[in-house]
Amino acid sequence: NGDEKAIVPFKVCGATCDSVDILSRPFWLPETVDTGDWIEIGHIGAYSLSLRTRFNGFFPDTFVEVTTPFDEGDAPQGFASLETMAD
């Protein structure tokens, strides 16, 4: 319909300049994602805060809570919210 937002595969890398600071699978994101955009990766369980360090100047005491990921009608095509998954 022309309003759909295309999603494409991205390779997600961290900012530590470490060769293992990369997520192993492609992440399907809106094609308009750009450097500096925030991306929420939910449900990462044990591999989130428990592995935090002060390596390379990154401090583990900064948290961002996302309560509404998209404005009404802005979700990319193929995005499944928790509410959608529960239906």
Domain range enclosing 14: 1-87
CA 50, CA 22: separation in Å to the nearest integer?
17
**pLDDT for 8-65, tens place per residue?**
998 888 777 778 778 888 888 889 988 888 887 777 666 666 666 777 777 666 666 6
pTM above 0.85, yes or no: no
Higher pLDDT: 49 or 71? It is 71
Tell me if residue 57 falls in helix, strand or coil: helix
pLDDT of residue 9: 92
Domain count, the chain: 1
From the list 21, 26, 10, the residue with the least C-alpha distance to 52 is 21
